[in-house]
Amino acid sequence: MADSAIRDTPLRAVQIEALVVMKIIKHSSQTFPTIVTGSIVGMDVNGVLQITNSFPFPTPDIPLSDNHKSNQNLAAAAPRAKGNIAYQNEMIKCLREVNVDAQNVGWYTSTSMGNFVTSCTIENQFFYQKEMNERTIALVHDVSRSSQGSLVVRAFRLSPTFMAAYKEGKFTTESLQKSGLRYQDILQELPLTIHNSHLLTALLHQLPAKPPTTELQFPPNLAALRQDPSVTQMPLAPNFDSLDLSIDPFLEKSCDLLLESIENHHTELNNHQYYQRSLAREQTKITQWQLKRKTENAARVAAKQAPLPEDEWQKLFKLPQEPSRLEIMLNSRQVEQYARQIDGFTAGVSGKMFAVKSNLLPGEAQ
């Protein structure tokens, strides 16, 4: 087999079956706003990852009286939980029997307002890329943004440089300089396409029932028009949710999230400053000690005594540990995500607003 050749080509794109889209939407919207996770299976064909099926992970049973927060964390950490790995293996074994592509190619998670760049996501994906298979991806479905009209599903991987850094667990300033890792490079996004099977295409063509071939009579009155069975109630498209003019909820939510991120950033910066200060303090102590030892040695040499060792300070003083910069990096990446999201939103909404304005004030359009 050309296995090695396949290994060498990096993943270029992700192709996701309509079935998977629907399953993920169903699973994540059922339990919204709790985060849900699940596994995806598929095949890697010449660098294009074809995702053909998915199944949800069981959420751990926790009594409702429990803290909501801990519940969320548990759900988000589900892909790495030991029980779920067994569950996943069992499920995949079963799926193989009915000719489903039984290769684990990653996991999916639901999110709200793009709030997915967390250490949990990173840990999950790291786990997948390290333990399971290097060629795995994380699908992120944004439930609250999808309800605004356009589906938001994205595919991410961890970049090799980040993987290396995370493996070592070192995110000090020094190691970051050496590797040149920036927060923009933590996640790599892969282009995503939705793919339909032939049968599904056939189904879609007949889902909103075919228009009647015979000429229709005009309805005699309004009531008849409303009850006409050939007026389809729920067509698949067009979907006018994206024409919705509500602006405030989105902006408010985004601002809140941004604030939260800034707050986090600030806390992390304070941690670093504290570290810097204590480092400086220790270092002045060390220099003082070294100076003292030097003068002492000079005195001892003058007195014809053996000099005392000068590197004893390493035992006496302990330099503080630099806090990891990982949190800051993830936070920065999250801010970037929010900012881009707001950009996209404002682009659409300002267009809609001008359209409404010129519609209501036709005279001023020119």
Partner 1 sequence: MADADSFLHLARPLGPAAVGSQPSTAPLSIVLQPQALFSILDHSLRRNQDQERVIGTLLGVRSEDGTEVEIRNCYAVPHTETAEQVEVDMDYQKQMLALHLRANPREVLVGWYATSSELNTFSALIQNFYGQQGDGTWPHPAVHLTVSTVPGQDIEARTYISAPIGVTPERAADSCLFIPVPYEIKYGDAEKSGLEMISGAKDREDRSQEILTDIESLERSIEQVLEMLERVSNYVSNVLDEETVPSSALGQFLMNALSLAPKVDPADIERDFNNHIQDVLMVAYLANTIRTQIDLSNRLATAALTMGSGDAIGGPPGAGGEGGNQKNSPENRRGKGRGQNRPQEQ
Nearer to partner 1, 288 or 305 (CB): 288
65 Cβ contact partners less than 8 Å away, ≥ 6 residues apart: none
Minimum distance from residue 201 beta carbon to partner 1 (Å) = 5
Minimum distance of partner 1 from residue 344's CB (angstroms): 5
**How many residues in the chain?**
366
| Rounded CA separation 351/172 (Å) | 44
Shorter beta-carbon distance to partner 1: residue 237 or 302? 237
How many C-beta atoms lie closer than 10 Å to residue 289's C-beta?
15
Cβ-Cβ contacts under 8 Å for 301 (sequence gap 6 or more): 307
Minimum distance from CB of 304 to partner 1 (Å)? 31
Q: With binding defined as CB under 8 A, does residue 224 bind partner 1?
A: yes
Binding residue for partner 1, selected from 4, 46, 67, 177, defined by CB under 8 A: 177
By the rule CB under 8 A, 15 interacts with partner 1? yes
Query: How far apart are the C-alpha atoms of 203 and 206, rounded to whole Å?
Result: 5
CB of 283 to partner 1, least distance (A): 5
Which of 249, 309 has the CB closer to partner 1? Answer: 249
Q: CB-hemisphere CA count at 13 Å for 225?
A: 5
Shortest spacing between CB 323 and partner 1, in angstroms? 12
Does 342 bind partner 1 (CB under 8 A)? Our answer is yes
Q: Nearer to partner 1 by C-beta: 68 or 182?
A: 182
From the list 13-21, 114-122, 156-164, 295-303, the region that binds partner 1 by CB under 8 A is 13-21
Our finding on whether 109 is near partner 1 (CB under 8 A) is no
Please give the residues from 253 up to 282 whose contact with partner 1 meets the rule CB under 8 A. 254-255, 258-259, 262, 265-266, 269, 272-273, 276-277, 279-280
How far is the C-alpha of 181 from the C-alpha of 324, rounded, in Å?
A: 14
Q: What is the largest CA-CA distance in the chain?
A: 122
Number of Cα atoms under 13 Å in the Cβ half of residue 243: 5
**Rounded (5°) CA angle 93-47-2:** 75
- Residue list 140-159, contact with partner 1 (CB under 8 A): 143, 146-154
29 binds partner 1 (CB under 8 A): yes
Q: Rule CB under 8 A: say whether 289 interacts with partner 1.
A: no
Site for partner 1 in 30-69 (CB under 8 A): 32, 38, 52-53, 55-59
Q: Cβ of 200: how many Cβ atoms within 10 Å?
A: 14
- By CB under 8 A, is residue 361 in contact with partner 1? yes
Site map for partner 1, 293-332, x if CB under 8 A? --------------------------------x--xx-xx
Binding flags for partner 1, 197-216, as an x/- string (CB under 8 A) = xxxxxxxxxxx-x-------
Q: Phi, psi (5° rounding) for residue 234?
A: -125, 80
Nearer to partner 1, 2 or 238 (CB): 238
Give the span between the Cα atoms of 38 and 325, in whole angstroms.
29
Stretch that binds partner 1, among 68-76, 122-130, 156-164, 337-345 (CB under 8 A): 337-345
When the beta carbons of 35 and 143 are compared against partner 1, the nearer one is 143
Distance CA 124, CA 76 (A): 9
- Tokens 């996991």 correspond to what residue? 107
DSSP codes joined into one string, 208-245:
SPPPPSSPPPPPSSHHHHHH-TTS-SS-SS--GGGG--
CA end-to-end distance (rounded Å), the chain? 66
Of residues 157 through 176, those in contact with partner 1 by CB under 8 A are 173-174, 176
Q: Which residue has the tokens 């590797």?
A: 179
Neighbouring CB atoms inside 10 A of 220's CB total 8
